[in-house]
């Protein structure tokens, strides 16, 4: 079984029997705030296209479809994609969902999107796939387009350090998530900027604590939220 097939199996199981992902239909607060940020900058999102990387059951994509002209969601899990399509039909959303891996190749043409969001997705890729994925993001975003990323931080996260110590992954600052079996990577500000902002302009960067639940327990984790912009050509 290759890496993509393994991840597909893991996430199909997760969406059938949720342990980590949210079963709610409300959009992530960070995505709502990102759209608000764009509108405050007088960006006309109503004429724009958006891509939701790792769209899951569609909660962020469906929200984006209320503001953007065109919205696509892509996810490795066909179970999540099935749920997302059903939800979109139920609320009459024009969001379009596709089941596909986000690495090493995205199934979209050059300069296809004005906005791309990655909320808690690319940290689940191994280093090689994440580098390929980041190159693909650069390819599919239009010049001047935005990339919103929410991922896991390392600095000040005791749980991350314990996971790295007890369940080390193959890559630097990575661990194998207990019970689920997928690898996650955490980032310092330096490693995040080195990887994600290499070819993008950094518009904003923020680190904050969050309290996700896993198997009925609540853990304090650190998260990075950043807005990046592709330079105009």
pLDDT 10s digits, 43-53: 999 999 999 99
Residue percentage of the chain with pLDDT more than 90: 79
Find the CATH number of the domain harbouring 81. Answer: 3.40.50.150
Q: Average pLDDT of 204-215?
A: 87
The number of folded domains in the chain is 1
Rounded distance between C-alpha atoms, residue 64 and residue 97, angstroms: 13
pLDDT at 200: 97
Question: What is the percentage of the chain residues whose pLDDT exceeds 70?
Answer: 94
Q: What's the token pair of residue 82?
A: 């099935």
Q: In the structure encoding, which two tokens stand for residue 81, read together?
A: 């994609």
Long-range contacts from 194-198, C-beta under 8 angstroms, 24+ separation: 195/130, 195/131, 195/134, 196/134, 196/149, 196/226, 196/228, 197/226, 197/228, 198/134
Does the pLDDT at position 66 exceed 50?
yes
pLDDT exceeds cutoff 50 at 145: yes
The boundaries of the domain holding residue 52 are 3-18+25-229
3-state secondary structure of 150: strand
Q: Reply yes or no on whether the pLDDT at 1 is more than 50.
A: no
- In 3D, which of 77, 76, 171, 61 has the Cα closest to residue 113? 61
How far is CA 213 from each of CA 70, 108, 155, 226, rounded to the nearest angstrom? 33, 34, 20, 23
Q: Is the pTM of this model over 0.75?
A: yes
pLDDT tens-place string over residues 26-44: 999 999 999 999 999 999 9
What pLDDT, on the 0 to 100 scale, is given for residue 14? 75
pLDDT digits (tens, 9 = 90+) for 80-128: 999 999 999 999 999 999 999 888 889 999 999 999 999 999 999 999 9
């Amino acid at each position: 079984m290759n890496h993509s097939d393994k991840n597909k199996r893991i996430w199909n199981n997760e969406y059938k029997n949720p342990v980590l992902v949210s079963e709610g239909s409300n959009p992530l607060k960070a995505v709502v705030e990102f759209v608000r940020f764009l509108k405050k900058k007088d960006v006309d999102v109503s004429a724009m296209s958006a891509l939701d990387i790792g769209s899951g059951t569609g909660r962020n994509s469906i929200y984006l479809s209320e503001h953007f002209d065109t919205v696509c969601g892509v996810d490795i899990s066909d179970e999540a994609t099935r749920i997302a399509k059903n939800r979109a039909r139920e609320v009459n959303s024009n969001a379009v969902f596709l089941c596909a891996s986000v690495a090493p190749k995205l199934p979209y043409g050059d300069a296809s999107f004005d906005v791309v969001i990655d909320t808690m997705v690319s940290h689940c890729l191994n280093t090689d796939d994440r580098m390929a994925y980041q190159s693909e993001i650069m390819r599919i975003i239009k010049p001047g387009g935005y990339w919103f990323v929410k991922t896991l931080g390392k600095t000040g996260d005791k749980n991350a350090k314990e996971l790295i110590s007890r369940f080390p992954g193959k890559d630097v600052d990575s661990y194998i998530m207990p019970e689920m079996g997928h690898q996650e990577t955490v980032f310092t500000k330096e490693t995040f900027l080195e990887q994600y902002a290499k070819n993008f302009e950094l518009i904003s960067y923020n680190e904050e604590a969050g309290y996700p639940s896993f198997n009925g327990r609540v853990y304090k984790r650190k998260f990075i939220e950043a807005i990046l912009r592709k330079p105009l050509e």
